Amino acid sequence: MGADIGDVVDGEEVALDSLDGAVALDAYNAIYGFLANIRQRDGTPLKDSKGRVTSHLSGLLYRTANLYEAGLKPCYVFDGPPPELKSATVEERRERKQEAEERYEEAARRGDEAEMLKHAQRATSLDQPQVETSVALLEALNVPWMEAPSEGEAQAAYMCREGDVAQVGSQDYDALLFGAPVLVRNLTIRGRGGSDLTPVRYVLDDVLADLDLTREELIEIGVLVGTDYNDGVHGVGPKTALDVVRDGETRERLEDGDPDADLDEIMELYLDPDVTDDYTLEWREPDRDAVVDLLCGEHDFGESRVEKAVERIEEATTQSSLDRWG
């Protein structure tokens, strides 16, 4: 989930077509979004004839094609092992999902489609088979992907700071805390009813200048409202947190409200996360036969729609842009 600081950071709505360059996408964040949102009205995800979930493959293929077509070059960054501090969050999420699953069953017994959809989305889990098929699809599409040494968003933010990608794509604001110069939300997500959401672009320097804060102080806001590494102070939202940080009272409030949080340790995780230079970004032409074999052969996708999406990616990967010589 990441730190919910959306109420205090201002972004700019931008047209998808106006974005260009490489984008490092938080892979788990994107795939989780596909699994949660690409569902039928009663919450049933897309499945192949063997009953295996395919919502994530559908999302990956069509969104990736859309991003390419808009002039972006996507690469997917998967989480590696989480930092130790995050294990509490992971456990808590597991419990929440279990509860949602139970409530989904209840709703199903009542036949309440709206409730079923809601709880099915909350119960979304991203398991190993889905990660594996996602990676297989990215390989077939020749879309670059990598596993981060630790947090995907930290690695994506690092690649953006290095100038290897022009922006990070995620729904979470954590990328800003990790120091990504540019974060774009709504790149891989669709709104209710399948309509596209407008991308929102956040420029870290502008965000900090607007709030007159340092990045460390922005992280403090995150810690006060709660991050993947701590619970946050009960009853403190981003706006209150902003006042607390401006008053220089972060440590006091944490001592009272979230005594387990170690501000220095969390600060360190955001400022100096485990990242790597071991990646290559190459956007090559998709292997059309491999994509068709995987999606149509294995998972019962319709061939003509898949071919069309592959063609859109082919076009984008075979035609260079004048920017290269600009």
Number of C-beta neighbours around residue 276 at 10 A: 14
| Contact (CB, 8 A) for 137 and 56 | no
- Quote the least distance from Cβ 62 to other proteins, whole Å: 19
Nearer to other proteins, 110 or 324 (CB): 324
Q: How far is the CB of 283 from other proteins (least distance, A)?
A: 9
β-strands 72-78, 145-147: how paired? parallel
Question: Which CB, 17 or 303, lies closer to other proteins?
Answer: 17
| Tokens at 101, concatenated | 């699953």
Nearer to other proteins, 259 or 325 (CB): 325
Q: What angle do the packed helices 250-257 and 215-225 form, to 10 degrees?
A: 20
**Integer Cα distance of 257 and 82 in angstroms:** 25
Nearer to other proteins, 70 or 135 (CB): 70
How many CA atoms, within 13 angstroms, populate the side-chain half-sphere of residue 230? 26
Element at 145 (helix H, strand E): strand 145-147
Contacts of 126 (CB under 8 A, 6+ apart): 28, 31, 32, 35, 56
d(CA 305, CA 309): 6
Which of 68, 301 has the CB closer to other proteins?
68
CB of 18 to other proteins, least distance (A): 9
Tokens of 118: 């809601």
At its nearest, how many Å lie between other proteins and the CB of residue 317?
Answer: 7
Least Cβ distance, residue 138 to other proteins (angstroms)? 17
d(CA 189, CA 97): 21
**Whose Cβ is closer to other proteins: residue 117's or residue 316's?**
316
Q: Which residues bind other proteins (CB under 8 A)?
A: 17, 20, 71, 284-285, 317-326
